[in-house]
Structure 1
């Protein structure tokens, strides 16, 4: 009887999430974002859910009867057009965070405009037969919450990058700048007075950009496609059920979070596949090791200046026994290519980093690339260009798991000494292996953790019990400024009252003395 009752309860719980209809949306024109974002989709399908995915890279996913894909790869053309027409934005050039934020918000608004303008998306929105139980969207695009409004469903926000302090703030998470560094900075969690001052400024700058630049841009696109009655993206974002972060303590610093925020770790690393025969032979025969050189899916090594390329070429030549595997995206022959350098347009990065002969990884410092380096325990030389890359690079540097070369300071001497240090000092390898152990030490596999929480939100109809009351407070209530003001007023009145009494008594005593003296 007891066994039957327990079995009934288990089946009841499973039935609540079986065959749910999930809408997953990520229109970011970046392969690395898409790969990380789509990491949980195969597992959702295996669990019996029907998943509709709006993506720029449908080729990442294998076809399945429960998978419905809407292709918005037009966003790549949008990115190219935006770069060609912009005087201040190019992912091929270095941009400081302050330079990057305003134009990238314009670009993100264009992405969601293209998404809502897609005929396939329009047909989906018009269909009376299309119903969803949950929306999962990438947090860079709060305007995608128009789908939440249209279908009246709970929403989960996911980030494939280090998170904005502004979104932590919106989810009710503490964002104390005294020990929580803004990713706009390159600070660690142990800051000097001047760093805490700058960190406070940049945290407020993040919030300012989100509230007064991102939301208005997103709201304009939402109203264009869904009418003026739609709530603001900020209002809809405050109603998110859950925040899933693709990160963990091997890649960031400790901070307290509310129950509605879950760090799950890397989501896109799957079992390794065999390398193509030419790469397998190249790496197997590299007895003195391999240096892997790639600047990610967006930044092209072929766009580097000749002077910068020559700095690497000359440095590679000083280590003739060490092989170099370089991603070279151009059809133009690489000039003065050293004998130990092997070039290919596309390289299976994760499978390369998993090889036993890999010695170090020269990278732009992107979030996904660093996650892969941590997973496989490969030391880094980071050359950051924009967005979160400087912060990522500094974290690896702080952990003594890598070195940084400023983009404007790439010279032969700096590259040579960085290569020499990492190839000959095994502390970097040891420290990266330590981070790898931290990253892999989880109660459940990363994807399984994410899936469990996705189904938790479905089972509990949006899980409103996860929502902290702090989300309903004004900023002055959250910081207790109203309480401090009230107590200060009471203290002032008390001190004034004492002053008034003492003054009265003193005046009365002096008056009596004066009368007696007369």
Structure 2
């Protein structure tokens, strides 16, 4: 007993000695974003680090002595207010390109609220508060003002598929011939026409990020930290590490620099027991059941009546298959089929793990798709905004699911897609193949991310990970200066040949003139 106590004491001392103070920002008012970010926080506090985190959903993590949670749940209301004032709604279909400008604007509003908050001001005024690292979600480069303030390294987390401007900021090669913008939702194998469109939207993404997003963040940063602060672009270019929540089961293979790590799915936890009514319902669905949820942002109640009726009519054609639908109201809609069951809230992770589940109808959010892949469940995707069309097309490309364009939802299309997915085995087989790829890792995503964060701290920002390309101008990176130099040499060489040839010919003997008789 005494020996056990000594061992525990030594371990606690070593743990304390290795612990670091980390300041983290997870400000996006979206439950799925919060799950991924906070999974990394959980791994860090489990490994003995002290983490102060700004989060919209503090209830996701259990209280812990090493966790200092600052609740910014009111961001959900801030976002709703912004949507009302600017006629920007997530309760309808939005073209991916429509999201870029409004999102950049509202992100700056969030950072302004954080910097002006009493919690942040208390942190900044405290002489005793020191941090070893800034950890932030990649949509918020304004958080890097704290990197400069505390003179510490920074690590960025990105919870959605590959976002080109953030990849570029880490020195990763950006080539639109095979790297598709989420705005275009193409695969990595594009036609000539698709490469033209993809190149245009890649440049558009970069333009919005550089000339709209950065200036808005800069204005907020300088408001609280002064005009001598480096720009958010400069600070972002000096991030030590980029952590991507994804892997080759969820995106396409591309070359990544050593400072960019794909850790796989972050947020999936061991299954919990289902509520008794749900457990009985799904256990008794001997012919299988369908799970229908449009995620945490889009509500099932927002689905237009004609499109909802198209689904209900199609569900009636499969009376032996039960349908569990997320419906955020106590009032059921008329003519609901007998095989459809409505619930205001559903434990998605635990439902997707059930053996009788045959199909997941989803909006195609990144975290929802990760869960579908993890549990090997085919998907019928109704993409609505941001990266969802990109995710939907990836599932189609892998023949692990099908997509319905939001404007083309009709009974005939829904029935045809449902019948295809419920009767063809290839979709299930392919999703199980992706599931095997996703799970084939030595450690979980949270543990992998935590290890790399510790690596950055141990190596004082890990400058050895920084590729030299980050110090080149764009024309140097593209070798345009070399091409220009060689072109000038070639021009001079050709001109000299021409000049010498002309002189030589001009000095040749004159033709003999014949005198006339």
> In the alignment, what sits opposite 1:128?
127
**Structure-2 separation of matches of 1:449 and 1:508:** 77
Indicate how the Cα distance of structure 1 residues 218 and 93 shifts in structure 2: closer, same or farther if over 3 A, else same: same
> In the alignment, what sits opposite 1:380?
379
State the 1:17 CA deviation.
7.4
State the 1:342 CA deviation.
1.1
**Structure-2 separation of matches of 1:443 and 1:501:** 68
Moved more, 92-101 or 429-438: 92-101
**Structure-2 separation of matches of 1:335 and 1:409:** 23
Indicate how the Cα distance of structure 1 residues 492 and 124 shifts in structure 2: closer, same or farther if over 3 A, else same: same
State the 1:176 CA deviation.
1.1
**Structure-2 separation of matches of 1:61 and 1:221:** 29
1:452 aligns with 2:451: yes
| Structure 2 unaligned regions, length at least 5 | 1-10
Q: How many residues align?
A: 503
1:41 aligns with 2:41: yes
SS at structure 2 position matched to 1:25: strand
> In the alignment, what sits opposite 1:283?
282
> In the alignment, what sits opposite 1:23?
23
**Structure-1 separation of matches of 2:353 and 2:514:** 100
**Structure-1 separation of matches of 2:511 and 2:219:** 77
Aligned-pair Cα RMSD in Å: 1.4
Deviations 1:455-493 (A, max 9, x none): 100110110111111001000000000000000000000
**Structure-1 separation of matches of 2:167 and 2:502:** 52
SS at structure 1 position matched to 2:22: strand
Deviations 1:281-329 (A, max 9, x none): 1100000111000000000010111111111111111111101010001
> In the alignment, what sits opposite 1:368?
367
> In the alignment, what sits opposite 1:222?
221
Q: Please say if residues 17 and 459 of structure 1, whose CA atoms lie closer than 8 Å, have aligned partners that are also in contact.
A: no
> In the alignment, what sits opposite 1:4?
none
**Structure-2 separation of matches of 1:92 and 1:365:** 14
SS at structure 1 position matched to 2:184: coil
**Structure-2 separation of matches of 1:463 and 1:267:** 23
State the 1:118 CA deviation.
1.8
**Structure-2 separation of matches of 1:205 and 1:104:** 15
| Structure 1 unaligned regions, length at least 5 | 1-10
> In the alignment, what sits opposite 1:7?
none
| Equivalent runs, 1:6-405 vs 2, <5 Å | 18-87=18-87, 89-405=88-404
**Structure-2 separation of matches of 1:250 and 1:183:** 17
Q: Please say if residues 16 and 458 of structure 1, whose CA atoms lie closer than 8 Å, have aligned partners that are also in contact.
A: no
State the 1:198 CA deviation.
1.1
Q: Please say if residues 244 and 450 of structure 1, whose CA atoms lie closer than 8 Å, have aligned partners that are also in contact.
A: yes
Q: Please say if residues 294 and 301 of structure 1, whose CA atoms lie closer than 8 Å, have aligned partners that are also in contact.
A: yes
Moved more, 179-188 or 459-468: 179-188
Deviations 1:227-250 (A, max 9, x none): 222111001101100000000000
| Equivalent runs, 1:485-496 vs 2, <5 Å | 485-496=484-495
Q: How does the TM-score come out when normalised to structure 2? A: 0.95
Deviations 1:223-270 (A, max 9, x none): 112222211100110110000000000010010011100000100011
Q: How does the TM-score come out when normalised to structure 1? A: 0.95
State the 1:333 CA deviation.
2.3
Q: Please say if residues 187 and 397 of structure 2, whose CA atoms lie closer than 8 Å, have aligned partners that are also in contact.
A: yes
Moved more, 125-134 or 354-363: 125-134
Q: Please say if residues 365 and 388 of structure 2, whose CA atoms lie closer than 8 Å, have aligned partners that are also in contact.
A: yes
SS at structure 2 position matched to 1:513: coil
Indicate how the Cα distance of structure 1 residues 33 and 277 shifts in structure 2: closer, same or farther if over 3 A, else same: same
State the 1:443 CA deviation.
2.6
SS at structure 2 position matched to 1:111: helix
**Structure-2 separation of matches of 1:301 and 1:414:** 19
**Structure-1 separation of matches of 2:399 and 2:352:** 19
**Structure-1 separation of matches of 2:441 and 2:513:** 87
State the 1:115 CA deviation.
1.4
State the 1:117 CA deviation.
2.0
Q: Please say if residues 311 and 414 of structure 2, whose CA atoms lie closer than 8 Å, have aligned partners that are also in contact.
A: yes
State the 1:15 CA deviation.
7.0
SS at structure 2 position matched to 1:110: helix
Indicate how the Cα distance of structure 1 residues 466 and 322 shifts in structure 2: closer, same or farther if over 3 A, else same: same
Q: Please say if residues 16 and 459 of structure 1, whose CA atoms lie closer than 8 Å, have aligned partners that are also in contact.
A: no
Indicate how the Cα distance of structure 1 residues 517 and 387 shifts in structure 2: closer, same or farther if over 3 A, else same: farther
**Structure-1 separation of matches of 2:487 and 2:111:** 48
Moved more, 115-124 or 203-212: 115-124
**Structure-1 separation of matches of 2:276 and 2:130:** 46
State the 1:388 CA deviation.
0.4
**Structure-1 separation of matches of 2:112 and 2:334:** 42
**Structure-2 separation of matches of 1:443 and 1:177:** 32
Q: Please say if residues 18 and 47 of structure 1, whose CA atoms lie closer than 8 Å, have aligned partners that are also in contact.
A: no
Indicate how the Cα distance of structure 1 residues 517 and 482 shifts in structure 2: closer, same or farther if over 3 A, else same: farther
Moved more, 376-385 or 119-128: 119-128
1:513 to 483, 501, 510: 510
